[in-house]
Chains A and B, each alone.
Chain A
């Protein structure tokens, strides 16, 4: 049996040293064998990444410059891109998606943060409130959206929202049948379904803020609002930044909300999203290459967002 040293004593925190002895004690054969064992454990997951993630990534880009007709694939340059951009739904889809992303940032991003701040102050009913907020996240999205479609957004006065508006003597709405209300209504449904995860992550971050900071701020005469601005937000900046990015990536993929709430396109393309257009081209119009091109456009736009965002946050530091 090979004798190994225990490297634990000299371990630096956060960066564990290799588990086996240093290289001076291992023979080449042993090193090769250890590496082979390591890769043997990795192979299953790596193969799945290769086949279902890394390879499709490259294939998507390749496909966007090809056209397959009757089993024959040819290179067509930018044809797929010009065809997809010429689609009359192309610009409405981007407009809707960006509008949704913006609305979702206002509602789906700010609301969970303030809900988390509020919940963090309570000393009672904490568990109950937490479960309530997260409960909708566990519903299958199709279930939750049928609930909104049939009950909440029923355009007649039998609908839940219209009944409430009427009881409050406010004007009722046509919801999904009115082009102006389509996007806000989808954001409300989407926020209800998804905000639980963000609230819990914020709560965990809030609990890591040292209490002394608030105490010091209070001694300096800072009110509640100033304490939020000068202590809470800077202390949770990293999480806030991370979730903003994740949220933009998630909302840009808006798909099931238009599909179920608005039967896809909605009235006058008021609900068409980029993701829905990808689905339409790829799986209904038999235009997988055009859909791949739109996918690449989406990736480029998101990469642009990320780059701009990284520059902005680098400047702030």
Chain B
């Protein structure tokens, strides 16, 4: 059945990344662009750019009817959703199916099941996989608070329709339980249009380990090993790596086989990720399954040598998997850093601005999946992630060294980014030894945002000497006046 023309229903770095593989495979390509949006790398790669409209740019990227209509109009026979936006929206998949267009991803039924955290948990638990102690509001709303209390503290409140850390709250004391439930409900309603909640035991100092799986929808499922994603701020990952420094070979096999088993249980089609909470005693619990390509998929590509987007396109075209489990090995070590427009020293406040100078690192073992161009504008219309820096090295120490060199040479001027903060994480001895948990960034906040050497005078000299008006004024002033000066102390 093949794919002759692919519409990428996304933007930024992931659109560019998907388009690159589609081009290599000889597929004609198209990508979306909101009428107010700046030109990005994806628009330069695609054969065709389709303008979409909407009250806000995000609303346009979520407009199912408009995007399906665009795919039909340009004669696309397949749509790749990237991540975020409509990538896990069962109604979008159903609308594409109706229009006779291939969705590069799982069936709408699987998305429906795994997208609802509560149903997904129940499904996984019924099949004998471990989940953390929990209370589900829907089971009996009247007793929800009581049952939440029984889960024990600390506990974690999550919106059942949630994702990406939105609306999640840790509660440590009974006195704040009810007010936190109300806040989480409000946030759930606003972000997901769904205020239903569930509560689960919060595992102290856990790791977040996930497994990349891929299925052909014909009963064949393979895994591409794990990714360690414990470095998170506000429940959002900013550094990911593989292999995980925490796992022994035996544990690695166990967790990866568990993930493949869960994917097999739903006869999974396409790329997916099974996320686990990994406790310090080595036990692990199913967290959720993401039925799409993940932001951090490149680290898996770097160590396995597989192009996961190429695999997705093969499966969507009915060509099946290109490899069996025995063909998929981990070679060396890979780390991904998410370059975000934000101020790490002020609570990760999103930053906006014009990109006045952009010079991205290159070199052996360095890959940059970028969503920005020199001269572009960073606005609050979209997520603050600008690009991803991915490195590969023969071992973890060399990968960290390469990541540090590369992030130090990542020049983005005109908008505040987290490059210095990412470098501080890489330089931390606990990161080097691999002794981290999802609480690491919060615990080490002071160390990680400590000011470096005071170079204020050098910076002021640069700012003064590059200030053309100031320099011109200084050079025109006659000697006599200069001596009299305006300097007051």
Binding between chains A and B: no
